[in-house]
Amino acid sequence: MITAELTRPERTTTAGRWYLERSGLETLVAALRADGRTVIGPTVADGAIVYDEIRASSDLPHGVGDVQAAGKYRLTTREDARAFGYVVGPTSWKRWVFPPLVELNTGMRAGHRVEFTPTRPDPTRLAFIGVRACEIAAFDAQDRVLDSGHFRDADYAARRKAAFIVAVQCTTAESTCFCTSMGTGPEVEHGFDLALTELDDGFLVDVGSPAGLELVQGALAGSMRPATPVEVYTAAADVAATRARIGDPLPAAGLHDRLLAQLDHPRWAQVAERCITCGNCTLACPTCFCTSVIQTTDIEGNAATNERAWDSCFSPGFARVAGGSFRTRPRDRYRQWLTHKFGTWWDQFGTSGCTGCGRCITWCPVGIDVREELMAIAPPVALSPEPARVEPVAASFDDFVVAQVVGTRQETADTVTLTLSGADPAFSKGSLGQFAMVAIPGFPPLPISISRFTVDGIELTIRGAGPATKAMCALKIGDQLGLRGPLGNNWPLDRAVGRDLVIVTGGIGLAPLRPVIHALAADRRRFGDVRLYYGARTPADILYHEEMRAWASRGGIEVNLTVDRAGPEWDGNVGVVTQLFDHATWEGANVVAFVCGPERMMQATANTLAGRGVTNSRIFVTLERHMECGIGLCGHCQMGKYFVCRDGPVFSLAQLGDIFGREGI
């Protein structure tokens, strides 16, 4: 039996929405210092905002902003006294959790004996104030590299564990920012003890850990009060405005494959003519982790100390082996850095190595912009909302081709999946969401969604609701039927590349979406979070039991189920499918939605999705109308200016406009 255990829970934090008066910033710094922590935060030094030790809130860059572009940086004076009204500077928090020089061990030699003594980590207790979303993403990236594999960097792990994180939501942006493209910001969503959103007179405070809650309820209690709805709204609006200002400057969908397919692109040589291989980009980068070991000895060579030191793949000696370096040319070193950061990092660690902070752009002495180079070397593949369809077979009112039933599977008491073979090969090359006109002599032809494309045929999942569908469900292996198709358009899966996808359906409506889910599971990394919301009449009416288990356990798809009614054996949700959204925590700014079901259900779902910020252009529905021909000649399926069989059945709500859900249309 399928139960609610298939749902993977959303990430949660210790909830809390508080307001900290501006004067309370000093209390925060003092409380962290009183806790025995060295407080690191932004401060002005040498004409830049750098991270360094601060002893009071007055050390923060109040009223200071910055202007950044490729190879350019300068400070400005703001019209307000905000402490975090800048973007990011040349230093990163990596300097404190992964320092440039760390002692690894010491070695001694006495006669024939040698002894090695590891240096035990003894990190200072730290507190970081002003950590941006892209920088938390950098922590996540380095955690995967240095603290989550079979081999761990003990010094890094100890320093990370000893750090208290006070994050800051971005309410400003510069031209070098592209966190939105990399999926790392500007919203701070996890990885913090406290998160601040700076308003005119104070800070909205979110609590993200028990340690953060202890501070709020203890040392900061006198400076805080519950946030008002206006303050919560204003904070969210400021961050949303920052996202809008940044936009999406680097189309990252499919970048891994695009980039690795261009290892011989002539642009590598062109950028090498500008690149001076100084390594500034790797030094400023918050995720680069390449190091070398430096050994120092006493004058007799009997005592030695090994130290880990930052290194760079731009260094001429980084790739030196016996006989010389295998990356002698600047073009090779630049290619190694860029393809690793945006390509092979995915293969090694499951994420990108870039967080979109823009430091490598600003601090490149010759103004090389990685976004421009990536767009020149690996431009995005043009996406068409309506890929070319295969030419349908038997594309006339009175014609059908014959297919044979080669397999049957009872899905529920009244629903059967037929596996068909022997028809024209075009049927196996159809698009996700297309249908076939299916005929048995003595019954009218019916439009049936194709629930799977096989190597030499298709599968149809059919619910026996009337005489014709009951006759189809009763077919046995070896029986034949007539087909016309594949017909109609497809689910625009390419619109969801790089985005989160929400699939909402009920009952037999899962059948036309089944090929979509198979395609998602087969190429999962091209998409963000994928969530399926599915409703059935009873637990016994749930389709594709075993497949659904695989989607949830191995396909990286969150499966949420509900039924209209159930007995005591069911421990999942009971109610309409839209009720599954009641406890969901995701927002719809990056969501594409595919919806299939009765029109009233789709209307309710569309309203729910709109309430979460999913626009009509990103909500797609599949419509059901009476069809007899499937090719737009009989007139039965006309809906306003559309013939559903020819122009659909998949439409975006933006296409349909106000005719969607209108009675009598």
CB atoms within 10 A of CB 248: 12
Same domain assignment for residues 571 and 540: yes
Task: Tell me which of 487, 513, 528 is where a domain ends.
Answer: 487
Can you give the pLDDT at residue 389?
Answer: 60
Q: Which domain holds residue 94?
A: 16-246
Same domain assignment for residues 424 and 542: no
pLDDT digits (tens, 9 = 90+) for 436-446: 889 888 888 88
139 belongs to a structural domain: yes
pLDDT digits (tens, 9 = 90+) for 539-578: 999 999 888 888 887 778 899 999 999 888 888 889 999 8
The span from the CA of 429 to the CA of 519, in Å, is 14
pLDDT digits (tens, 9 = 90+) for 340-395: 999 999 988 889 999 999 999 999 999 999 999 999 898 876 443 444 566 788 77
483 belongs to a structural domain: yes
Cross-strand partners of 418: 408, 460
408 belongs to a structural domain: yes
Residue 453 Cα distances to 271, 427, 513, angstroms: 45, 8, 12
Same domain assignment for residues 125 and 148: yes
331 pLDDT higher than 60 = yes
Q: Tell me whether strands 113-118 and 320-321 are parallel, antiparallel or unpaired.
A: unpaired
90 pLDDT higher than 90 = yes
Same domain assignment for residues 71 and 217: yes
Residue 656 Cα distances to 73, 201, 598, 646, 661, angstroms: 48, 46, 16, 15, 9
Can you give the pLDDT at residue 53?
Answer: 96
Q: Which contiguous run of DSSP H or E holds residue 284?
A: helix 280-284
636 belongs to a structural domain: no
Same domain assignment for residues 115 and 219: yes
The average pLDDT across 184-208 equals: 94
Contact status, residue 141 vs residue 54, Cβ threshold 8 Å: no
Q: Is 245 exposed, middle or buried (0-12, 13-18, 19+ CB in 10 A)?
A: middle
329 belongs to a structural domain: no
Nearest to 606 by CA among 598, 588, 614, 574: 614
Helix residue ranges, H only, 394-441 = none
14 pLDDT higher than 50 = no
Same domain assignment for residues 29 and 104: yes
Task: Tell me which of 222, 246, 270 is where a domain ends.
Answer: 246
525 belongs to a structural domain: yes
E strands in 391-529: 401-412, 415-421, 435-439, 446-454, 457-463, 480-487, 500-506
Same domain assignment for residues 472 and 567: no
Statement: the pTM of the whole predicted model exceeds 0.75: no
pLDDT band at 659 (very low <50, low <70, confident <90, very high): confident
Same domain assignment for residues 527 and 443: no
Structural domain count of the chain: 3
Same domain assignment for residues 209 and 122: yes
Same domain assignment for residues 480 and 498: no
Task: Write the CATH number for 431.
Answer: 2.40.30.10
Same domain assignment for residues 130 and 228: yes
Can you give the pLDDT at residue 383?
Answer: 42
256 belongs to a structural domain: no
Q: Which contiguous run of DSSP H or E holds residue 215?
A: helix 210-217
Q: Which contiguous run of DSSP H or E holds residue 80?
A: none
Task: Tell me which of 469, 487, 505 is where a domain ends.
Answer: 487
Can you give the pLDDT at residue 410?
Answer: 94
Nearest to 396 by CA among 625, 624, 630, 627: 630
pLDDT digits (tens, 9 = 90+) for 155-192: 999 999 999 999 999 999 999 999 999 999 899 999 99
290 belongs to a structural domain: no
Nearest to 94 by CA among 252, 287, 240: 287
Nearest to 178 by CA among 257, 275, 251, 254: 251
Task: Write the CATH number for 557.
Answer: 3.40.50.80
Same domain assignment for residues 133 and 105: yes
